[in-house]
Amino acid sequence: MSVTATRGPSEAGLIGRLIERLTEIFALVGGLVMIAIMLVQSASVLGRSLPDLFGFIGLKLPRLAIPGDIEIVQLGCGIAIFCFLPLCHYRRANVLVEFFTQHLPVRYRSMFDLAANLLFLVIASAITWQLGHGSQEKIAYWDTTMVLRLPEAYPYVGALAAATLWTLVVAYSCARSCQEIMRDRVIGPAPSGDH
């Protein structure tokens, strides 16, 4: 059976559609965080450059950098990256080397996907476990950043929520691969090589 055969929207099932919506919400949050980071960093760079930009006309403007802009970028990037991982994995958008498997039947490709998803499950579970441990420590000791004194617990908890969803998505992907092996057809989003 061809991989590009038509699939109905309900083929992923209720759980698949729920997971897809959750991953889209988390990715949207990650995108908003990235926009906020971009705005903070742009404002800080422009503020530092004011004397250079307007110095040629005789204006004496102060350098107005945003204090702790690097801290904001670091904390925001940590959250945003974890927010994108669940959607990336759900849509099979991870980097794949399909040169050897692209012409295999769906069942055999799904076997390779299952093996990769099981490895991802171990990695995602370990990362989620460590983020949970780190979050507990950050909350217990109430660590803060150096310049702005922002609590480091909040980004850890945000990343933990996204990593937990990522782990659930990887577990769902393992089940999805098993169903694809049994049915010999693609369920949900098509593999990246088929887009």
pLDDT digits (tens, 9 = 90+) for 107-140: 999 999 999 999 999 999 999 999 999 999 999 9
State pTM to two decimals.
0.85
When mean pLDDT is compared over 1-15, 24-38, 86-100, 139-153, the highest value belongs to 24-38
Judged on CB neighbours under 10 Å (0-12, 13-18, 19+), 81 is: middle
Q: Which residue has the higher pLDDT, 192 or 18?
A: 18
pLDDT at residue 84, as a whole number: 97
Asked whether the beta carbons of 131 and 159 are under 8 A apart, the reply is yes
Asked whether the beta carbons of 78 and 110 are under 8 A apart, the reply is no
pLDDT at residue 194, as a whole number: 53
pLDDT at residue 100, as a whole number: 75
Asked whether the beta carbons of 23 and 164 are under 8 A apart, the reply is no
Judged on CB neighbours under 10 Å (0-12, 13-18, 19+), 92 is: buried
Q: Looking at 103-107, 119-123, 143-147, 189-193, which range is the least confident one? A: 189-193
Average pLDDT of the residues in 158-168 = 97
Asked whether the beta carbons of 23 and 165 are under 8 A apart, the reply is yes
Q: Which residue has the higher pLDDT, 133 or 184?
A: 133
Q: What is the pLDDT of residues 21-67, one digit of tens each?
A: 999 999 999 999 999 999 999 999 988 887 777 767 777 778 888 89
pLDDT at residue 9, as a whole number: 43
Distances 107 to 85, 102, 123 between C-alpha atoms, Å: 25, 12, 24
pLDDT at residue 179, as a whole number: 94
Q: Which residue has the higher pLDDT, 159 or 189?
A: 159
Residue in this structure with the two tokens 């350098």, named with its chain if needed = 63
Average pLDDT, the chain: 87
pLDDT at residue 11, as a whole number: 64
pLDDT at residue 4, as a whole number: 41
Give the closest residue to 80 by CA, choosing from 144, 161, 13.
161
